[in-house]
A and B are shown apart, each in its own frame.
Chain A
Amino acid sequence: MELDNIEKLLEKYFEATTTIAEEQELQTYFSQKDVAAHLEQYRPMFNFFSNAKEERYTKQVPLKPRKNYYKWISVAAVAVLTFGIYFGNQYRERQQAEYAYQETKKAFELLAENFGKGTEKVAYLQEFEVAKQKIYNNN
C-alpha cells in the first residue's frame, strides 16, 4: 500500500504534477534505509536534493556604511580647515608682532649703545674738571 503510493507519486513527480507536500513525502521515503529494490535507482536523486539544500554560503560580506562615512569625513574636513585658517591667522599675526617687537628692540639697543658711547666721552670731561680744580686750588 505504502509502496503503491510511492510509485504513483513517482509517476506524478516525473510529469511535474506533484505538490510540494507530495515531493516532501518522496524525499522522506528515499531518505530512509530500506527502499524497495526496484526504486533504489532513484535514491541518489532525492538524496542529492536534500544534500544540496545543506550547502551554505560562509563568506563574510564587507558591508560598509558608506553614505554616512563620506558625509562625516567632509564635515570633519571642513572643521579642520576652519580651525586651521582661524588659528593660522592668529599665529601669523603673533609672529608679525614678535618680529616688529624684535626689530624695535634692536633699534633701541643701537640707540642705547650710542648713548653709552656719548656718556663715556663725557666722563673725560669730568676728568678735566677735576684737574682744573686741582690747579685752581694750588694757586
Chain B
Amino acid sequence: MKQAEFLSVVMPFKDKLYRLAKRLLVSREEAEDATQEILLKLWAKNESMAEYKNVEAFAMTMTKNFCLDRLKSKQASNLKLVHSNYQDESTSLQKQLEAEDSIGWMERIMEELPEQQKMVLQLRDVEQYDFDEICALMEMKPTAVRVALSRARKTVRQELIKKHSYGIG
C-alpha cells in the first residue's frame, strides 16, 4: 500500500483516534503522541491492512488498548506523581478561567467517570457508533454496553444538576 493510499484510508478516522486518546489520557500532548504511535504502527502493518475488514474498528481497538496500557504503566511508575503535580497546577488555573464555562464542567465531569463508561460515552455520544460496533470495540456484551452507557449518562446528569442548582461550583 502506497503512502497516499494509506493516508486516504486513515484520514477519515484519525481524529476519532485522537479524541478517544484524549478522552482517556486527558493531556493533549500525550493524546497526540499516542495517536502518532498508533498511526505509525498501522503504517508498519500496511501490507496486511487490506486483510482487515474494518480498519477503523481495528485502529480504535488499538488506540483503546494502547491508552489503557499507558495509564496502567503511568500509575505503576513514580513519574505519575511529578506529572500529576504539574498537571494539577495548570488545571487549577484553568479551573478559575473556566469557572463559568459549561464545556469546562463537562470536561471535568467526564474525567471523573470510570474508564469504561468514559469510553462508551465517547464512542456513542461523540462519535455516534452503533451498539454493535461498541460491543466489538469494547469486547462487551450489548446489555453491558447499555448499562454502562446509561450509568455514564445518569452520572453526568447528576453532576450537571448539582452544578446547575449550586451555581458555579
Contacts and interface: CB of A to CB of B under 8 A. Distances in A.
Question: Is B truly associated with A?
Answer: yes
A44 B3 contact: no
B15 A42 contact: no
Interface in B1-47: 3, 6-7, 14-15, 17-19, 22, 32, 35-36, 39-40, 43
Interface of A: 13-17, 20, 23-24, 40-45, 47-49, 51-53, 55-57, 59, 61, 63, 65
Q: Is the interface of B mostly helix, strand, loop or mixed?
A: helix
A24 B128 CA distance: 9
Given A23-B128, A56-B18, 15 more contacts: A23-B124, A42-B157, A43-B102, A44-B106, A45-B156, A45-B160, A47-B103, A48-B102, A53-B127, A56-B15, A57-B14, A57-B15, A61-B40, A61-B43, A63-B40
Given A23-B125, A52-B126, A42 B18 contact: no
B contact residues, range = 35 or more
B36 A61 contact: yes
Contacts of A48: 102-103, 106-107, 110
B153 A55 contact: no
Nearest to B44: A66
A23 B125 CA distance: 8
Nearest to A17: B146
Contacts of A14: 150, 153-154, 157
B28 to A, nearest CB: 9
Interface string B79-116: 00000000000000000000000110111001000000
Contacts of A13: 153
